[in-house]
Amino acid sequence: MKDSAAKTLMITGAGRRFGKALAEHYLALGWRIIAHYNSSNELEAELDPVQRAQCLFVQADLSCENSVQGMIQQVKESGWSLDGIVHNASGFEPDQKNASDWQRSQRMMAIHVLAPQAITMGLINHINASGCIISISDIYADMPNQRFAGYCASKAGLQNLSLSLAQRLAPKIRVNVIQPGPVKFLPEHDQSYRDKVLSQSLLKRELGYEPLIQACDYLLAADAVTGSVMRVDGGRFCANRYEQHFIE
Residue 246: per-residue pLDDT: 41
Among 26, 151, 193, 218, the one annotated catalytic: 151
Angle made by CA atoms 102, 105, 108, in degrees to the nearest 5: 145
Mean per-residue pLDDT of the chain? 91
Fold adopted by 8-227: Rossmann fold (3.40.50)
Residue 215: name the closest of 232, 227, 234 by CA.
232
Q: Count of residues for the chain?
A: 248
pTM, full prediction: 0.92
Q: How many CB atoms lie within 10 A of CB 240?
A: 8
Residues 30 and 26: their CA atoms lie apart, in Å, by 6
pLDDT tens per residue across all 248 residues of the chain? 444 457 999 999 999 999 999 999 999 999 999 999 999 999 999 999 999 999 999 999 999 999 999 999 999 999 999 999 999 999 988 888 777 788 888 999 999 999 999 999 999 999 999 999 999 999 989 988 888 889 999 999 999 999 999 999 999 999 999 999 888 887 878 898 888 888 888 988 888 999 999 999 999 999 999 999 999 999 988 886 655 444 54
Treating both helix axes as pointing N-terminal to C-terminal, what angle do 115-122 and 65-78 enclose, rounded to 10 degrees? 30
Strands 127-136 and 8-11: unpaired
Helix, strand, coil fractions of the chain, as percent rounded to 5: 45, 15, 40
Residue 5: name the closest of 112, 83, 59, 115 by CA.
83
126-177 confidence digits (pLDDT tens): 999 999 999 999 998 998 888 888 999 999 999 999 999 999 999 999 999 9
Strand order, beta sheet including 55-59: 55-59, 32-37, 8-11, 82-87, 127-136, 174-180, 229-232
Residues 65 and 203: their CA atoms lie apart, in Å, by 40
Domain spans, the chain: 8-227
Report cis status (omega within 30 of 0) of the bond before 49.
Answer: no
Residues 135 and 119: their CA atoms lie apart, in Å, by 12
Residues 247 and 60: their CA atoms lie apart, in Å, by 57
Residue 216: name the closest of 16, 5, 6, 24 by CA.
24
151 catalytically annotated: yes
